[in-house]
Amino acid sequence: MKIYIGSDHGGYQLKEELKKYLSELGYETEDMGGHELNPEDDYPDFIFPVAENVALRVAQGEHAMGIVIGRSGNGEVIAANKVKGIRAALCTTKAMARHAREHNDANILSLGADVIDAKGVKEIVKVFLETPFSNEERHKRRLQKIDDYEIAHNK
């Protein structure tokens, strides 16, 4: 599985640490930027490419996920969810990460570098990447309602 990762200056250091961690876990990653610490950069410039690549891979029937990082993770999750086919979730605990995958089939994890410690973030990432979607009918039904709404209201 390929992992696309991106962050602005607020998440740059954590992104660099997570790339090493993901490699240790055996994941292939593609860094969509920022590629240097630039306090003037804007998170949409890096988050949209992560989301677009994940959405494209998923639409092609491949398995890909994304990780987006900022100071709080809020702007990043909002931006990622603007891309059709993306279900991004802001997670600050392992339980949130597990539910995002099991119940919502989330394909992008949003993280806030200022609100999660280094050990905790690795645990959240691991749970998110290793937890499968439950495929329970009630969750599939709810996701279908979201997809239907998106199609009907974004023509």
Say how many C-beta atoms besides its own lie within 10 A of residue 22's C-beta: 19
- Determine which one of 17, 103, 123, 139 is catalytic: 103
Is 16 a known active-site residue? Answer: no
- Number of Cβ atoms within 10 Å of the Cβ of 146: 11
Cis peptide before 75 (omega within 30 of 0): no
- The amino acid sitting at 125 is V
Beta-bridge partners for 31: 5
Per-residue three-class SS string for 82-133: CCCCCCEEECCCHHHHHHHHHCCCCCEEEEECCCCCHHHHHHHHHHHHHCCC
99 in active site: no
Q: Which of 76, 137, 139, 150 is catalytic?
A: 76
Active-site residue set? 76, 103
